[in-house]
């Protein structure tokens, strides 16, 4: 683990704090924040259940909010922090938004598109490259997700017995 005075660790800890609030409204604890020149300009956790929108991933919401904030769809000089490896949709949005740097925590063996099931960022045919750093605070993020899904299974089993 990187020291807390490391910016990647510090910002990922902020994203994890945000992710912890998602289950309070029935959302999976995945969060993202976008940093521009050392300042958080947008942050969100998943809202797929709340909005009943399959595209309401934290990354997409953050990219939309940041583009409005910056007045441009080109999110240059930024770093995106995400508590889970982005899926194909999200890494596509990251590439299209020209985000130069992505830092994620836990890998996603079921949908991850930054090395787990696919590896889109280094694709040479794309017109933009994203520097990817994975594994920052990975254990903490993985534990948060595992705890969430274990609780869901317990709740479902309890409902079945009543």
Using CA atoms of 46, 107, 4, 15 in order, give the dihedral in degrees to the nearest 10. Answer: 0
* 87 in a labelled binding site: yes
* 57 in a labelled binding site: yes
* 90 in a labelled binding site: yes
Does 59 participate in catalysis according to the annotation? Answer: yes
Catalytic residue (one of 27, 37, 49, 59) = 59
Of the candidates 68, 72, 132, the residue with the CA atom closest to the CA atom of residue 96? 72
Give the relative orientation of helices 58-70 and 88-96 as an angle to the nearest 10 degrees.
10
Rounded to whole angstroms, the Cα distance separating 78 from 97 reads 10
Residues making up the annotated binding site are: 57, 87, 90
Write out the catalytic residue numbers. 59
Residues making up the annotated binding site for Zn(2+) are: 57, 87, 90
């Amino acid at each position: 683990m990187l020291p807390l005075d490391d910016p990647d660790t510090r910002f990922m800890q902020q994203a994890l704090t945000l992710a912890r609030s998602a289950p309070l409204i029935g959302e999976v604890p995945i969060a993202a924040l976008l940093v521009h020149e050392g300042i958080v300009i947008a942050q969100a956790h998943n809202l797929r259940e709340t909005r009943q929108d399959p595209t309401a991933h934290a990354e997409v919401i953050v990219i939309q909010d940041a583009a409005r904030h910056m007045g441009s769809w080109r999110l240059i000089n930024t770093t995106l922090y995400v508590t889970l490896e982005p899926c194909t949709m999200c890494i596509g949005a990251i590439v299209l938004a020209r985000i130069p740097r992505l830092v994620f925590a836990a890998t996603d063996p079921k949908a991850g598109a930054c090395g787990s099931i696919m590896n889109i960022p280094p694709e040479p045919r794309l017109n933009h490259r994203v520097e990817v750093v994975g594994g920052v605070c990975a254990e903490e993020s993985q534990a948060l997700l595992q705890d969430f899904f274990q609780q869901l299974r317990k709740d479902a089993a309890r409902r079945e017995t009543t």
